[in-house]
């Protein structure tokens, strides 16, 4: 399994889009390497990393559904004011997407839906209670025993502090998050990134059945 960013990559298995930034994609790159389900291709064209954030990134479905029917959407936990799946479904309905079925995969979701005459399988990955750096901090603790304090009021200064401390540890260890993930066993990764791993594991299992 690998994540590619080539705009013109032919016939990928899944297209990936995010309501966040490049950190989620670097995490996904590392995890895709670990969940090496033979030749599964996760495609993240750079053009999808737009100014659309949070739930508005779901608008990408309106154009990508012309070419793809298997998609992965990644979004931080702090996007939601209420129950994530309810807000996601409401947003999809608001942009003309029909919901057929929803399956829970840990705290991620597989939504079977339709846009016009296209049937779409949409995986939704919620990264962290607030944001992805919480999960990276967990991995750092599991890998090196370095405890980054994630307690406190979850406001903007809190997020900046967590991100700064995570980046400082990675800099001191002279390693990128993608490489750190590749060097870590699945057991620790499934604790640190439960929703990412649950979705990739499901994708890998489904592929092996075909």
What HEC string does the chain produce?
CEEECCCCCCCCCEEEEECCCHHHHHHHHHHHHHCCCCCCEEECCHHHCCCCCHHHHHHHHHHHCCCCCEEEEEEEHHHCCCCHHHHHHHHHHHCCCEEEEEEEECCEEEEEEEECCEEEEEEEEEECCCCHHHHHHHHHHHHHCCCCCCCCCCCHHHHHHHHHHHHHHHHHCCCCHHHHHHCCCHHHHHHHCHHHHHHHHHHHHHHHHC
* Domain of 205, in residue numbers: 2-130+177-209
Check which CATH number belongs to the domain holding 203 and give it.
Answer: 3.40.50
Domain total of the chain = 2
The answer, yes or no, to whether residue 52 has pLDDT greater than 70, is no
Do 52 and 136 sit in the same domain of this protein? no
- Number of Cβ within 10 Å of residue 90's Cβ equals 12
Do 35 and 85 sit in the same domain of this protein? yes
The answer, yes or no, to whether residue 50 has pLDDT greater than 60, is no
Do 73 and 99 sit in the same domain of this protein? yes
Do 42 and 7 sit in the same domain of this protein? yes
Range of weakest confidence among 21-30, 117-126, 155-164: 21-30
Tell me, what's the pLDDT at 210? Answer: 64
pLDDT in tens, 195-205: 999 999 999 88
Do 24 and 101 sit in the same domain of this protein? yes
Q: What does the alpha-carbon distance between residue 72 and residue 124 come to, in Å, rounded to a whole number?
A: 6
CA 9, chain centre distance (Å): 20
pLDDT in tens, 55-111: 888 888 888 887 888 999 999 888 898 888 999 999 999 999 999 999 999 889 999
Q: What does the alpha-carbon distance between residue 195 and residue 210 come to, in Å, rounded to a whole number?
A: 23
Do 125 and 182 sit in the same domain of this protein? yes
């Amino acid at each position: 399994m690998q994540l590619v960013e080539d705009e013109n990559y032919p016939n990928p298995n899944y297209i990936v889009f995010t309501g966040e930034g490049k950190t989620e994609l670097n995490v996904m790159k590392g995890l895709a390497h670990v969940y090496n389900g033979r030749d599964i291709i996760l495609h993240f064209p750079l053009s999808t990393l737009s100014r659309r954030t949070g739930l508005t990134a779901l608008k990408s479905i309106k154009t990508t559904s012309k070419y793809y029917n298997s998609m992965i959407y990644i979004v931080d936990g702090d996007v939601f004011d209420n129950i994530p799946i309810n807000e996601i479904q409401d947003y999809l309905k608001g942009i003309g997407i029909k919901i057929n079925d929803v399956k829970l995969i840990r705290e991620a979701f597989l939504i079977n839906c339709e846009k016009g005459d296209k049937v779409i399988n949409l995986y939704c990955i919620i990264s962290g209670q607030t944001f992805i750096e919480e999960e990276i901090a967990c991995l750092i603790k599991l890998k090196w025993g370095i405890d980054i304090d994630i307690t406190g009021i979850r406001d903007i200064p809190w997020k900046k502090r967590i991100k700064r401390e995570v980046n400082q540890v990675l800099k001191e260890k002279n390693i990128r998050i993608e490489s750190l993930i590749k060097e870590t066993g699945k057991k620790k990764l499934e604790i640190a990134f439960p929703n990412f791993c649950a979705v990739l594991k499901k994708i890998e299992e489904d592929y092996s059945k075909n």
